[in-house]
Amino acid sequence: MPAESGPHGSHMPLVRISRRGEERVNAGHVWIFGDDLRETPSGLSPGDWVRVESRSGLPLGTAMLNTHSRIALRIVSREVIEPGRAFIARRLGEARARRAAAGWDDENAMRLCFSEADAMPGLIVDRFGDVLSLQILTAGMERYRQEILEELVSLYAPRLIYERSEGGARKHEGMPERKGPVFGDAAIATSVIETDGVRFLVDVEKGPKTGFFLDQRSNRRIVRDLSAGKTVLDGFCSTGGFGIYALAGGASGVLAIDSSDYAIGAARDNAARNGFEDRWEGRSANLFQELRQLSASGRTFDLVVLDPPAFTKAREGREGAVRGYRDVNRLGLSLLPPGGLLATASCTQLVDLSTWKEALRFAAADARADLELVAVGGPPPDHPVLLGMPETDYLKFAVWRKRRR
Ligand code: SAH
């Protein structure tokens, strides 16, 4: 793509979209689906950056095109911009300023750029100390991979940038996966981070997704502050976040369960790293089965944390996901004595807050439990939420007390 021909990206191909697409854009969304494309010039390739106009010729902005994906256009700006290094630098700088405005300017562990939520569709960058973990999930961002790497180096001076461009998203965009060190010292793949005084070893090669789940930071604090003197079940513990925060808050003991052997090993290491090994026990098991067994044996906990993986990524899976939330929360509630707390999360984008609450209502009825709201959580400031784009509002979290009946 010629970078410097003409002002304001006027060399970019022009794509017109339907009335419905225009309304979507005006309502604040940045995705346009294939059936809302109207006039698309021939000869365009996945990842091309294009100008977008309404059918009547109203300029709507700049987008990345990929007709191989169900999401044919992703708006990167409401203006006609000049794609290239300067634009990448501007967006990464804005993402940094956004976090600084929330008081997160010098966190050693945080998400530096979160895809559409930072107006960079398909680009995720996490900082773990001086190691950056990168995911490029769209053909449009892939086009500027070199510029992105150079800008990240100049903004953050990392010792290592490790790429984890994996998973279904790339397949939808027609791109192969890519994983490995892409800048700096390839010999290091781990970094010790500290959040709220708690230390974790993050392995950007073997850890989950980019290495560690940063999005639960505020919710872990909520759990920590409710944990003093309590016995805690950390369900779906991954590398140990919630349980270790609970111990930092004075929990008397934690049983952490995850189906991944890697996760349990990493969580055990992290518990020890914080000096909690004698109050932390890990079990690698299917949580649904394990909760049934614990319940059958009469075991109870003062606080049960449930942080399941996304139960579906496809619309067809929504009903099953809702059933999953109903089941797992019913099982969790069965381990609580009256007065006990259920801290429960959902990261399924396609299950919205009211649908999730409905599932919890069914779970409570199944468990014959009256639940009273104790705290509401959500994503931390490095995971921005756009009102006009519900997909950015994926993380739901609440703590409920089981009332004596
Ligand atoms: N609570 C974690 C993040 C959880 S991610 C944190 O704070 O970092 C979801 C986890 O659920 C993954 O680690 C995955 O291995 C685990 N998992 C998925 N299905 C499971 C099942 N049926 N039983 C137990 N763990 C499961």
Q: Tens of pLDDT along 238-285?
A: 999 999 999 999 999 999 999 999 999 999 999 999 999 999 999 999
pLDDT at 8 over 90: no
230 and 325 co-located in one domain: yes
152 and 251 co-located in one domain: no
Q: Tens of pLDDT along 41-68?
A: 889 999 999 999 999 999 999 999 998 8
Query: Nearest 5°: phi and psi at 187?
Result: -75, -20
- Among protein residues, the one with the nearest Cα to ligand 1's atom 13 is 238
237 is catalytic: no
3-class SS of residue 343: strand
The active-site residue out of 25, 72, 347, 398 is: 347
- Among protein residues, the one with the nearest Cα to ligand 1's atom 21 is 286
Tell me, using a 6 A CB cutoff, whether residue 400 lines ligand 1.
no
Q: Tens of pLDDT along 131-166?
A: 999 999 999 999 999 999 999 999 999 999 999 999
- List the CATH number of the domain containing 177: 3.30.750.80
Residue 205 in domain: no
The percent of residues in the chain predicted with pLDDT above 70, rounded, is 98
- List the CATH number of the domain containing 337: 3.40.50.150
Query: Nearest 5°: phi and psi at 87?
Result: -70, -45
391 and 243 co-located in one domain: yes
Please state, in angstroms and rounded to a whole number, the distance separating the CA atoms of residues 58 and 71: 21
Domain around 167:
85-188
Q: Please, are residues 70 and 39 in contact by the beta-carbon 8 Å criterion?
A: no
- Bridge pairing between strands 59-65 and 37-39: unpaired
Tell me, using a 6 A CB cutoff, whether residue 344 lines ligand 1.
no
Choose among 96, 94, 24: nearest CA to 60: 24
Q: Tens of pLDDT along 79-95?
A: 999 999 999 999 999 99
3-class SS of residue 325: helix
Tell me, using a 6 A CB cutoff, whether residue 288 lines ligand 1.
yes
At residue 2, the pLDDT reads 44
320 and 352 co-located in one domain: yes
pLDDT at 39 over 90: no
